[in-house]
């Protein structure tokens, strides 16, 4: 059964793609849904299955200019989970992309990632 999943973005939710074959998770767009759990749960389920196999690698690419509080809660839980997975021997590389000149977005990313020990990068998108 394929673990790949694509959740199309809407006005209030980001475009989410998990490509297990290419070891990549991408989340792009503003995130302010009514229920963040409903938005992210389907992909988190897939991730849980993916990481059942030992020694997995995942490249995470996030471009989330705005996340409401419940989305931010989901993201911190996700990063805590990723940290736990790294402690178990899995490998995570994360890139937080932020729009050109949007230093608020950059600071939000830094705040959400301040407790993690796996490698991450802050990358400014071009204008």
Partner 1 sequence: MGSNDVFWNEIQLIEEATRLLEESEYIDKRDYSKLISAYRTLLNQTKKLTKMSDRHQNKLSDLLERISRYVPAPLYKKITQGKEKVEINHTKRVKLTIFFSDIMDFSSHSANMEGEALSAILNSYLEEMTNIVNKHGGTLDKYIGDAIMVFFGDPDYIDDFEHARRCLNMALEMRQRMKELQKHWFDLGYPDPLHIRMGISTGFVSAGNFGSSEHMDYTVIGTAVNLASRLQEYAAADQILIAHETWGFVKDHVICKEPQFIKELKGFSKGVYAYEVVGLKDKLIPQTLVYEDKARDVVIRFSPDVIAPSELNKIIEELLSQRKALSSEEQEDEYEL
For binding to partner 1 (CB under 8 A), which residues are involved? 35-38, 40-41, 44, 48, 68-70, 72-74, 76-78, 80-81, 104, 107-108, 111-112, 114-115
Q: Which is nearer to partner 1, 21 or 104 (CB)?
A: 104
Q: Which is nearer to partner 1, 63 or 75 (CB)?
A: 75
Q: Minimum distance from CB of 51 to partner 1 (Å)? A: 12
C-alpha to C-alpha distance for 125 and 123, rounded to whole angstroms? 6
Q: Which is nearer to partner 1, 22 or 120 (CB)?
A: 120
């Amino acid at each position: 059964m394929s673990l790949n999943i694509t959740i199309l973005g809407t006005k209030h939710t980001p475009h989410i793609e998990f490509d297990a074959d290419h070891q990549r998770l991408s989340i792009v767009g503003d995130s302010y849904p009514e229920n963040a759990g409903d938005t992210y749960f389907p992909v988190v389920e897939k991730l849980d299955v993916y990481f059942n196999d030992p020694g997995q690698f995942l490249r995470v690419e996030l471009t989330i200019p705005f996340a409401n509080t419940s989305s931010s809660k989901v993201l911190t839980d996700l990063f805590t989970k990723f940290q736990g997975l790294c402690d178990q021997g899995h490998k995570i590389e994360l890139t937080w992309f932020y729009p050109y000149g949007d230093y608020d977005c950059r600071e939000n990313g830094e705040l959400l990632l301040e407790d993690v020990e796996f490698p991450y990068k802050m990358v400014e998108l071009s204008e």
